[in-house]
Structure 1
Amino acid sequence: MPPRKRNPNGSGTVTKRSDGRYQAAVYVPQPDGTTKRKYAYGATFEECDRKRRELIDRAKGGIPTPTRDMTLGQWFDYWLEVIVKPNLAGNSYRAYETAVRHHLRPRLGSKVMLKLGVKELRGAMQALAQDQGVKTAKRALRVLSAALTAAMVEDIGLTRNVAKLVHVRATTDSGKSWDAVTVLRFLSAARRLTVYYPVFLLICLLGLRRAEACGLRWENIDFDNRVVWVEQQRQRSSSGTIDDAGLKTETSKAPLPLPAQCIAPLRWTRMRTAMLRERAVSNGRPWFEDPEAHVFVTRTGRPLTPDHLYLDLQRIIRLEGLGKMNPKGLRKSCGTLLVHLRVHPRIVKAVLRHSRISTTLDIYAEALDPDVIEAVGQLDRLLRQPARIRELEASAGLETAA
């Protein structure tokens, strides 16, 4: 009798279970460097064998494969390095990694991911809210929800995202938008108080993100055809502040119409840069030769950074007494005012360059009080028409008789 052939080491096995299904077992690498046995199931031998080969291919490629007993701490390591870091912008990765390191791992890192329950998670988030504030807890919960959503795609048995079943109430006024009068007051003050008035004008009229405004180059502006191309953003990285071509969403990289009132301030900005350079060179002062030719630069020629823009914004708001606001609020004001002008939501989405229209409507296009009053008034007038009501009742009666 010839000896029974053995499967090569590392090729795994496929066996038939007592319930008629097939089970594949393969030793696969884990995110922490160890090796564990991973099981996959299929209704037929062919389906199960295909899953076995996929697991082997991942193992040969050095890609860790999570198992059912993986803790949240182990999953965070895998998720950040394999899923987040290669696919999201550097700032997004740093924000996720910070939330995991400071808030999620100390409280939930030792929990088995598949066994995490709603009650347990709610208690952890309530404790975090008490210690660090509700804003921090809400931000950490969003990061955890993104991590668990990614885990549901992997074949590890996770069937629900418990983070979506837990809610942390957070109140904030920093994201509110201004009405048209307040925006005009701010722009009037910015014209008097800062040389970066053109930046704020672009943000208010086009809804640019501050990193996108700081990343604008002269090659992105076509004065003849009055077009602005948003193609990169100014971001801070481990190597310093650089231009990043990876915008927040795929739809962020798009041409926008250049408003007429922006042309003169932008031309003045170019003349100011040339004057600053000539003065610095003639007086022997340091000057940074910007190879990318950014539109907005500092007194020494270096590209304007989002942090510098934020400080300038807060100074103007404080001097004018306009209340709390941030650059995201200016962007939100753009969307809100477009909705106030009865612009179609899809056009507002195109201006703000969102990937989903729900983002436009839910976050950046809140209804102004006059709009709400007018809408309720219209409904009130509609429901105060006795003749119309009797007509509808008569039509309903005829349909019932027929």
Structure 2
Amino acid sequence: MSVQKQRYTSKKTGKTTVRYFANVWYAVESRSITGPMRDKEKEARKDEVDIMRSIEAGQGKRKQKERMTTIQEIFDIWHDATAPPTYANSTWRIYERFYNDYIKEVFGDKAVSKVKATHIQKYVNLMKQSHSPGTINKCINILSNLFGYAVSPLKCITPMENPMEGITRCTVPVRKKITWSDDEIAYFLNLQEVMESHYYPMFCLSALLGARPGEVCGLTENCLSNKPTYLIDFDRGYDNWECETNLKTHQSHRQPPIPKHLYDLLHKRLIWKKKNRLEDKSWSDNDYLFVSQNGNPIKPKQYAYAFKRLLAAHNKAMEEYETEHGSLPNGEMKLPYITLYGFRTSFATNNMRRCPNAALISSIMGNSPKTLIQFYTQSDTEMQKELINNYVNMERTIS
């Protein structure tokens, strides 16, 4: 706190004039607050007192606001502000679940201004003892959003007081994705119990086009076209909270060609739905292509569970037969355990092996070539061996 002098010498007259101004350091925002230039020092002193009173009054209001603003209150405001379509419905719901499961009990009743970086780091360290890196990172994301929102637009804390600064996310170990070969996919789709499943047309779509489960569940009755060629229109999704969703990216909106036998299979399902609706007008009052036996839309987790159940039942039957007879039946096999999403990874990997055209394959899958290469395709030992052998043979030819 001080009153500063500023001297000004006129080039024209050579006369030096002294003027005064108040200069008060505002530690909370790490900046100086200055008053206007005054001809008299006592006027600047009065400005200094006024600035100090203003700061004290502002800090008092701010402290009162801090005492009232808890992490729970910040979350309620932030969660309401980020409701769909700001966030995708699934992301928004998952953030709510993670906050309630992992954050609320620890920080919910704490004043936002009282939470320090040491508290966050201790929380992260304790989480590491019993939770996966993915779960911890999700919680860090939520906390970063909450404290960022407390800084702006709520202005409950300053950027300097944000406790998330310097908090690092956990390294998520890279796990080799398990995929099915073309033969394994064909084997699964030709199993009698799979072909008789209500989900069989959906399995075919996931396997033959690498479509996301939510995209398959969200297909409409008008998604099929046979002029001038057989096409299917991916234009929306359906999530586990029974909400119609927009697709993940603009590339996800696509209309790839499909083989006639797949078109016929899907069209047969459409006929089945329309026939049931004619018999009972209250049945399946929606425009989804795929519905359950009772006419309701199929949720992705319901679809995924059906796949998991069929795969587990088949492998169990094979293991029991092998235990009893010492070997598997002729032509039968046990399949690697994959998730339903494994169809998508398998589609990308198998097609990149046959035709390494990332732009073409990604246009069918509904993502960018960069995403395809980074997240879906993976080299296997045979692919690496083939590349190295081809390179060695080329070197020998040149020499």
TM-score normalized by the length of structure 1: 0.65
Partner of 2:205: 202
Counterparts in 2 of 1:3-402, with a 5 A limit?
36=62, 75-83=74-82, 85-107=84-106, 110=110, 117=117, 121=120, 123-144=122-143, 156-157=158-159, 165-169=168-172, 176-189=178-191, 191-224=194-227, 225-237=229-241, 241-242=242-243, 244-274=244-274, 276=276, 281=279, 288-321=282-315, 322-354=335-367, 357-378=369-390
1:166-219 CA distance string (max 9 Å, x none):
31445767x533222222222222653413211111112222222221121121
| 8 Å Cα contact 2:240-2:301 kept in structure 1 | no
Asked if the contact 1:230–1:254 (Cα under 8 Å) also holds between the matched residues in 2, the reply is: yes
CA separation of 1:131/1:17 partners in 2, compared to 1, >3 Å: closer, same or farther? Answer: same
Deviations 1:48-87 (A, max 9, x none): xxxxxxxxxxxxxxxxxx99x9876555444322235550
Matched-pair contact (CA < 8 Å) for 1:220–1:228: yes
Question: In structure 2, what is the Cα distance between the partners aligned to 1:289 and 1:81?
Answer: 35
* 3-state SS, counterpart of residue 194 of structure 1: coil
Task: Answer with 1 or 2: which has the greater Rg.
Answer: 2
Partner Cα separation in structure 2 for residue 295 and residue 124 of structure 1 = 46
**Structure 2: which amino acid aligns with 1:364?**
Y
Q: How many residues align?
A: 325
Counterparts of 2:251 and 2:283 in 1: how far apart (Å)? Answer: 32
Identity %: 17
d(CA) in 2 for partners of 1:113, 1:206:
51
Task: Report the CA distance shift for 1:131/1:245 in structure 2 as closer, same or farther (over 3 A).
Answer: closer
Query: Secondary structure, in 3 states, of the residue corresponding to 1:262?
Result: helix
The runs of 5 or more residues in structure 2 that have no matched partner are 1-21, 26-30, 36-50, 316-334
Q: Residue 254 of structure 2 contacts residue 364 of structure 2 at CA under 8 Å; is this kept in 1?
A: no
- 1:51 aligned residue: none
Question: Where does the alignment leave 5 or more consecutive residues of structure 1 unmatched?
Answer: 1-14, 27-33, 38-65, 389-402
Which whole-Å CA distance do the structure 2 matches of 1:184 and 1:254 have between them? 25
Deviation of residue 125 (structure 1)? Answer: 2.8
CA shift at 1:94, angstroms? Answer: 0.9
Distance 1:157 1:347 in 2: 45
In 2: Cα distance, 1:187 partner to 1:297 partner = 20
Contact kept, 8 Å, 1:227 with 1:255, in 2: the verdict is yes
Change (3 A) 1:245 1:139: closer
Q: Distance in 2 between matches of 1:207 and 1:113?
A: 48
Scaled by the length of structure 2, the TM-score of the pair is 0.65
RMSD: 4.2
Residue 256 of structure 2: SS of its match in structure 1?
A: strand
C-alpha separation in 1, matches of 2:136 and 2:78: 20
Deviations 1:332-380 (CA, angstroms, capped at 9, x unpaired): 22222232223322333322223x5443222212223322222344455
Q: Check whether the contact 2:217–2:299 (CA below 8 A) recurs between aligned residues.
A: yes
For 1:258 and 1:228, how far apart are their aligned partners in 2?
Answer: 7
